[in-house]
Amino acid sequence: MSSATTVDGQGSKPVSTVLAAAAFTAAILGLGYLAFGLLTMLVFTAGFVGGLLLWLLVPSRGSWADIKVPYWVALLLFALHRVEENRMGFFRFLAEVTGLPTPELSSPPLVLLLALSVGAWLVVPFLMARGLRFGRYLAWTFFASMGVTELAHFLVFPWFSDVAWHYVPGMWTVIALAPVAWFGMWRLARGANVKPILSGPEQTTATPRHRQNELRHVLACLSSAVREHT
């Protein structure tokens, strides 16, 4: 094995891609801290840390064709989840139980956090369809955020206050969202068949040219997503 790569279930990961994924995760953590403070940041950004670890540790055989149905369904349910949170006052609830002020919607850390996280998830279809490893990392973060982080509405947030277990804004849509995300993670890990279905650059050993082209694609997609959300 070349010193320039690490290995997962379907091929090698260039160290440059691993470093880019780690840097992106660190940026999300930093923006989460600036926007919400330490405690809330640990909850909100757990999906990116968990997604990074899953991408690094879990052999994944799924292609874009394998995950596109749970991806689009989860994305739709996530939009409905945000509507429930906004209509029922989730951030007001969070400010009450944490004692921290609700971040302004126009605050730079919050704008950048939303642009980078949601923007990155929106380019998953493009990156996965091209067989880019960074797209697979982003897919793991998306499903981990929807299927694990959002469970905080049941497992974490109700215990922030002194009253008995109670409704937390956004709770009901998680009942549908989380299982769809779990199914997406299962398909991402196993694919439609037991045997790996490989395509694109994941089919061959990474070369410096492949790594450079992959990073260019990723940076171009993320830059476009940030411009659209700011």
**Among the ranges given (25-39, 153-167, 208-222), the one the predictor scored with the smallest mean pLDDT:** 208-222
Query: What mean pLDDT do residues 189-196 have?
Result: 66
A 10 A CB-CB count for 42 gives 16
Q: What is the mean pLDDT of the chain?
A: 82
Structurally, the chain folds into a number of domains equal to: 1
Query: What mean pLDDT do residues 19-37 have?
Result: 93
Q: Give backbone dihedrals phi and psi of 4, rounded to 5 degrees, phi first.
A: -90, 0
Burial of 118 (0-12, 13-18, 19+ CB in 10 A): middle
Query: Model pTM?
Result: 0.77
Distance CA 215, CA 210 (A): 9
3-state secondary structure the chain: CCCCEEEECCEEEEHHHHHHHHHHHHHHHHHHHHHHCHHHHHHHCHHHHHHHHHHHHCCCCCCHHHHHHHHHHHHHHHHHHHHHHHHHCHHHHHHHHHCCCCCCCCCHHHHHHHHHHHHHHHCHHHHHHCCCHHHHHHHHHHHHHHHCHHHHHHHCHHHCCCCCCCCCCCHHHHHHHHHHHHHHHHHHHHCCCCCCCCCHHHHCCCCHHHHHHHHHHHHHHHHHHHHHHC
130 neighbors 216 (Cβ within 8 angstroms): no
Query: What mean pLDDT do residues 86-100 have?
Result: 82
| 11-14/5-8 β-pairing | antiparallel
Domain that holds residue 213: 5-229
pLDDT in tens, 47-70: 999 999 999 999 888 999 999 999
**Among the ranges given (1-5, 90-94, 102-106, 186-190), the one the predictor scored with the smallest mean pLDDT:** 1-5
